A and B are shown apart, each in its own frame.
Chain A
């Protein structure tokens, strides 16, 4: 992704990896990309009742240059697909995509020529969130699972090689954060 690829692998980078991942997941700024009814639930996610500020992601960035995460909330039409790809390309690395709702994930009930059958035809998706629309808790759950994935991401090609066949287990948030 950058400088870390030039550095040698070792004891130092093992803990740097954790630190880097922690900083990345702790302020995951989403790009504003609401397309349909899911966007309403996404707004609720940012509003006081669910309060995304608790996870350091209350700032929905209108500019893709300042965003780390694209929450594709809603159905993606064939005409919107190139726009979506351009927004994604404009986002700086590292970047993640969350397909929110069944329409973004697979086309949902709109199995027709106008709708892209899953946003993974256009951009790589890191987290699929079912629901029509998903309730804000479900979005929080998906975001926390994505945080967990980011925390386990390898830093640099050597670590990536070592962790290649390791699968991150995604546990429901009510279990993982049970007190």
Chain B
């Protein structure tokens, strides 16, 4: 097979050796390792600091960290967060201090996962998990409420409302000592060892940035 090269081009005329080289490359590719990630069967971990679904964290005794300040809602460029603060009373206490987040909603059809809310949060209440499988078939259910966003109760935690267990004042919750019970426990997540595919339920909800 020979084809005259186009007039004026300096491309060499095709030769049998050229064909062998070209198709030889195609042929050897058949024996190379497959590049495809088998996603729904193998889960490849995201980067540890991947911006996934939000989590509202708890203090080691189970009280909520959120103080209902709305700074996350103000920082949000997409207006995806809605917060209503409420007053703690001695009989009904959800967080140390005066205020707590009574209503907390994140609209995942507005959220762009930029993380500005996490930067704005003064108590490290709001962090992000690595969970990303969020698709749903209606807009209503994609507005996550506080119950869906709250971190699960770990061993040693007690569901609020209950009185402050780690000290007499709010300040005691933000000292090194008060965080000690957390550090003693199991590590929050072993999901993110880079480069290793994981099978099964690998995407955990937890305090990855906490």
Contact = CB atoms under 8 A, between A and B. Distances in A.
Given A140-B40, A175-B201, A108 B134 contact: no
Contact of B112 (A132, A136, A141): A132
Nearest to A174: B43
Contacts of A168: 137
B200 A179 contact: yes
A176 B40 CA distance: 8
Interface residues of A, number: 42
A178 B112 contact: no
Interface string B144-184: 00000000000000000000000000000000000000000
Interface string B61-80: 00000000000000001110
Given A108-B78, A111-B79, A173-B40, A126 B110 contact: no
A102 interface: yes
A127 B40 contact: no
Contact of B35 (A49, A54, A136): A49
A72 B207 CA distance: 33
B113 interface: yes
Given A106-B139, A174-B133, A174-B203, A130 B108 contact: yes
B139 A105 contact: yes
A145 interface: yes
A139 to B, nearest CB: 8
A109 B113 CA distance: 11
Interface of A: 48-51, 54, 102, 105-109, 111, 118, 120, 126-132, 134-138, 140-142, 144-145, 149, 168, 170, 172-179
Closest 10 A/B residue pairs (Cβ) = A132-B112, A142-B135, A109-B78, A172-B133, A106-B109, A177-B40, A130-B108, A173-B40, A51-B36, A105-B109
9 contacts: A49-B37, A50-B39, A102-B109, A111-B79, A118-B109, A128-B135, A128-B142, A132-B113, A174-B133
